[in-house]
Structure 1
């Protein structure tokens, strides 16, 4: 296992860095990056999980979310921060991958700052949520407002394999321990609500010049129902890989296939 360096970009955005190669991949974390406290141990755990779906020996930087945002929480502001991080701390143009929520942020980065991104990977993601994904988003927001913990229960149905859903439900039984690890309720709500105002247009997609791979499950509960196909159609030359019968958790349940497609693309 490579050593993992953790720290803050821009003095407020947590990151974990694995490896030392200058051509490292930049990865924007999924929603767990703001739902859970960004403690170094948590980021290290996320980084180890990420290693399972990346080519062996690949260097990468996992970027999370400001746990206490002072400015307006918007996807475009998050994209601005990522662009600044690339300009001041990393190599430009970057190889950028966004996972789930992070993929929507990555789409904004590639559209708003095309000179900053050389290659773009949207993993279990697209340029926006599907109709079903938006319904789930509204439920998550309501759960987060009513009782912080229940927002996690929405994910107890997202695996294709029933036993993995049961295992997640079992882990959710340890409520007190999970609540202690969660981020601030107000920040979770603000990040979730930011997705309600996502406004990626067809013109934005056409503005993306980066070589693009869109990789996810056919039955993705958040980005399925044609959203990945629409993103691939809007981004010139984008490559689309849809894994049959897989859900939003395709990166977990089909890790070896995901790794193969990422390695071939990179």
Structure 2
């Protein structure tokens, strides 16, 4: 029996829920979120329950995607305002874990709506992309205009893995993946999301964050390298910083046990 559920919150926010814990943990996904149709299946619930198995005893985990059909020019701040409404309506407040672009949204959520955010985990993210990260994201944006989803996924795959998978997965994703992986429900959501990420700079605003904050990312992450992680942690009052040795942008996957151990320790403190 799969314990969990899927659905949509008001405003069209797709979600999947796993766990039965007394605390609520909301996960905000990264920039590739628009590359599937937004409908979480029962199979995805099984996967998420396995992925979050260390959390589901203490937490009820909600993975909340952004709505399909984003308005042109949608900003990170706009997305944060939308999430604030959903969290307020559904939970009142919650601990928030933002990944990559989702971490940028989480930062602004904590800045603009402090009453919605209890503890804040900023994973593989920062107040801005590095110069190298901007080049990578700009390339993804141009491929999104061409509806070249396989190449976008190949770029992300290359940045996630520090080992042999960095060389094997991208060509598989760019070729076989073109026919087997999901496609966006609304193609424009992909480039609108990437443009929002490219435009984001939270260096000044995050100084207003009041939530307990953990900044965690990989030593070899080219989107948000240690210099950006450190800059982000310094800007947020009292923030903790943890850099995962040997990890790239996919530290949450390739170094999952140690990554999650650090997050759980932070949340439990």
TM-score if structure 1 supplies the norm length? 0.90
Shift of the 63–165 alpha-carbon distance from structure 1 to 2, 3 Å rule, reads farther
Q: Distance in 1 between matches of 2:25 and 2:2?
A: 15
State the shift of 1:259 in Å: 1.4
Paired residues for 1:137-176 under 5 Å: 137-149=137-149, 150-158=151-159, 159-163=161-165, 165-176=167-178
1:143 alignment partner, SS class: helix
RMSD of the TM alignment (CA)? 2.1
Shift of the 237–46 alpha-carbon distance from structure 1 to 2, 3 Å rule, reads farther
Paired residues for 1:43-62 under 5 Å: 44=45, 47-48=48-49, 50-51=51-52, 54-55=54-55, 57=57, 58-62=59-63
Q: Distance in 2 between matches of 1:71 and 1:142?
A: 16
1:181 alignment partner, SS class: coil
* Uncovered stretches (5+) of structure 1, i.e. residues with no partner: none
Q: Which residue in the other structure is 1:15 paired with?
A: 15
2:97 alignment partner, SS class: strand
Q: Distance in 2 between matches of 1:66 and 1:39?
A: 11
How many residues align? The count is 263
Q: Distance in 2 between matches of 1:43 and 1:100?
A: 20
User: Is residue 17–residue 63 contact of structure 2 (8 Å, CA) maintained in 1?
Assistant: yes
Alignment partner of 1:222 is 2:199: no
User: Is residue 104–residue 127 contact of structure 1 (8 Å, CA) maintained in 2?
Assistant: yes
State the shift of 1:13 in Å: 1.0
User: Is residue 214–residue 232 contact of structure 1 (8 Å, CA) maintained in 2?
Assistant: yes
State the shift of 1:148 in Å: 2.5
The Cα offsets for residues 38-86 of structure 1, whole Å up to 9 and x where unpaired, read as: 122275366346415x435232111111111247411111100111111
Paired residues for 1:111-126 under 5 Å: 111-126=111-126
User: Is residue 18–residue 45 contact of structure 2 (8 Å, CA) maintained in 1?
Assistant: no
* Uncovered stretches (5+) of structure 2, i.e. residues with no partner: none
